[in-house]
Copies of this chain bind each other. A is one copy, B any other.
């Protein structure tokens, strides 16, 4: 019985910040599934050739090879139906919407807050690749994308519905964290791992929630190495 997650690493091999990998790590923890990780870097396309894929996360679950974070979450619900993370039917549809909400409305603001910190957290050999692909995506130099103040304004506005939600329950999905929590948490953990920039005001319900998420499932996220632990 082996379960292995290919997981993006940074300049220190223990620095793991991919938002997509964090989704999966939290989903695995939610289902109490043990796993090993293999540290992977952007340029290491060869290592994923077996999966016919060029990005992480890739999960190897015994004979199964599954790529794409959301597909992995879906796979985990099918293979291990107890404690679903996405759910089925309408439940699944609403999780899918939440995924798009995180990627379209939240992540761009986060990226503007941490762009240069992220570059610095990445392995030196990966930085050219990262800079080129991200500058092409944004159509401007990374140094211009990086604008923590504007990013924070964008983020505060994008998170308004999450803030409302967290006024009536400790987690987005209710009394306990589930798929929607992991989808948003993945992106915020990404920013938190590579940067010291604050992401929300101290008394913001989103900040309280983020701290709560760091402690769930035995503190799997809270115990992870961040740039705070590196000199």
**Footprint of B on A, CB under 8 Å?**
87, 89-98, 100-101, 103-105, 158, 160-162, 164-165, 168-169, 172-174, 178-180
Contacts and interface: CB of A to CB of B under 8 A. Distances in A.
A211 to B, nearest CB: 20
A93 B162 CA distance: 11
A14 to B, nearest CB: 33
B87 A180 contact: no
Nearest to A85: B90
Contacts of A179: 90
A89 B173 CA distance: 8
A161 B95 contact: no
A100 B160 contact: yes
B87 A172 contact: no
Given A93-B180, A165-B96, A105 B173 contact: no
Contacts of A180: 90, 93-94, 97
A100 B172 contact: no
A41 to B, nearest CB: 29
B169 A97 contact: no
27 contacts: A87-B90, A87-B91, A89-B174, A90-B173, A90-B178, A90-B180, A91-B91, A93-B169, A93-B172, A94-B94, A94-B180, A96-B168, A97-B98, A97-B161, A97-B162, A97-B172, A100-B160, A100-B162, A100-B164, A100-B165, A101-B101, A103-B161, A103-B164, A104-B160, A105-B105, A105-B158, A105-B160
